[in-house]
Structure 1
Amino acid sequence: MFAGFRAFFAASVLALSALIAVPATAGTLQCAPFAREVSGIDIHGNANTWWGQAEGRYDRGHEPRVGAVLAFAASRSMPVGHVAMVSKVVSDREVLLTHANWSYRGGIERNVRAIDVSPNNDWTDVRVWYGPIGNLGLRSNAARGFIYADAPKAVDQAPVRIASAEQSGGAGLRAAF
């Protein structure tokens, strides 16, 4: 009888352990690898370094576009910043974001509301949906701007000289490259 109880107890503990959520530590999903995966922007490191790393590698700006990554600045409450991908542009001052590790540790949120509250309408101050209160967060968050998923266009640095009709002997306009 005692052996049967031990087997039942061991099976019960095993079954219960599968139901109990244990917080992950090293396996917690972070915003930067998630943003890299969903946006295709190949930047590594903490979120607060993405804006600087994008310089010269990706176009950056202050206009929301689908697929762009909104780079948040580091702050006291976000010491390593945050990055989130724009999943929909609602208006010039409202977007929907898809991101990880914002409202819930390691959680993914899709299509959550974010609004530009910056005085210059340049997305440098943003309020974002915060799940635990079911509304936009109570405070705004400083942001750097958007990193666009397409690599910057290569610019031909070769000088261009346009010859006038008089310079080309009357043969019409020619361009020399």
Structure 2
Amino acid sequence: MRGVVRKGFFAVLGAALCGGALALPAQARLLDYVGECVPFARAASGIQIFGNAWTWWDQAEGRYQRGSRPKQGAVIVFARSDRLRLGHVAVVSRVVTQRVLMLTHANWSRQNGERGHAEQDVTLTDVSRDNDWSMVKVWYKDMDGLGSSTYPVYGFVYGTPVKGASVPRARPATELTGTDPDYVAAIIDAYE
């Protein structure tokens, strides 16, 4: 079944890249995805940027609005680091507090012993000294909590095109967030 889901997902991605619809067919739910973070973030956010995750920040300049405040549907762009050689991209699914949010992403935690799986509404917390989202901690399913590692972040790419840009307005996937996310657990995770 996993092969069918992957093929269906990538067929939809291919159609989306060529101007087709971005909606996933019933047999290829967004959360069934297994693979890299970049194609997942593109499908989940609707933001049409390609290439390694860490390059999204610069690629968005002049195309999509960018900033340092989280908004639902925005893509958070992690910088390259020793632990993230290609960076990482994830999509903000919920803003919980000024320093806690939930994100939906792929290829972070191990599930069933392998990386690449999609995860919905996981906790991310701002640990930057200036409260500017430049350094974060991410919840790991493997550890069932926030790790001790911190990760540098460039900022958020929003789905709104810059005036005069020839890119479509992004439309996040309907599965970006769950119907009943656990806000209390996210806050507890962030402040444990």
TM-score norm. by structure 2 comes to: 0.65
Change (3 A) 1:28 1:113: closer
Match of 1:93 in 2: 99
Match of 1:46 in 2: 52
Cα distance in 1 between the residues matched to 2:149 and 2:61: 28
Q: What amino acid is the match of 2:86?
A: V
- Of 142, 152, 155, 2:152 maps to 142
Deviation at 1:150, TM superposition (A): 1.3
Match of 2:78 in 1: 72
Contact 2:69 2:132 (8 Å CA) reproduced = yes
Q: Which of the two has higher C-alpha Rg?
A: 1
SS at match of 2:142: helix
Cα distance in 1 between the residues matched to 2:34 and 2:94: 26
Contact 2:34 2:106 (8 Å CA) reproduced = no
Deviation at 1:153, TM superposition (A): 3.2
Cα offsets for 1:19-45 (capped at 9, x unmatched): xxxxxxxx9510000000010100001
Q: What amino acid is the match of 2:56?
A: W
SS at match of 2:38: helix
Cα distance in 2 between the residues matched to 1:120 and 1:55: 24
> 1:127 and 2:142 equivalent?
no
- Of 94, 114, 117, 2:127 maps to 117
CA RMSD of aligned residues (A): 1.7
Runs of 4+ off more than 3 Å: none
Number of residue equivalences: 130
Contact 2:34 2:118 (8 Å CA) reproduced = no
Cα distance in 1 between the residues matched to 2:162 and 2:120: 27
Cα distance in 2 between the residues matched to 1:48 and 1:28: 20
Tell me which of the two structures has the higher relative contact order, counting C-alpha pairs closer than 8 angstroms and 6 or more residues apart. 2
Cα offsets for 1:122-174 (capped at 9, x unmatched): 1110001011110011111000000001112349xxxxxxxxxxxxxxxxxxx
- Where structure 2 has 5 or more consecutive residues not aligned to the other structure, the ranges are 2-32, 166-192
- Of 102, 124, 149, 2:108 maps to 102
Cα distance in 1 between the residues matched to 2:94 and 2:162: 22
Deviation at 1:92, TM superposition (A): 1.4
Q: What amino acid is the match of 2:87?
A: G
- Percent identity between matched residues is 51
TM-score norm. by structure 1 comes to: 0.70
> 1:37 and 2:67 equivalent?
no
Q: What amino acid is the match of 1:120?
A: D
Match of 2:18 in 1: none
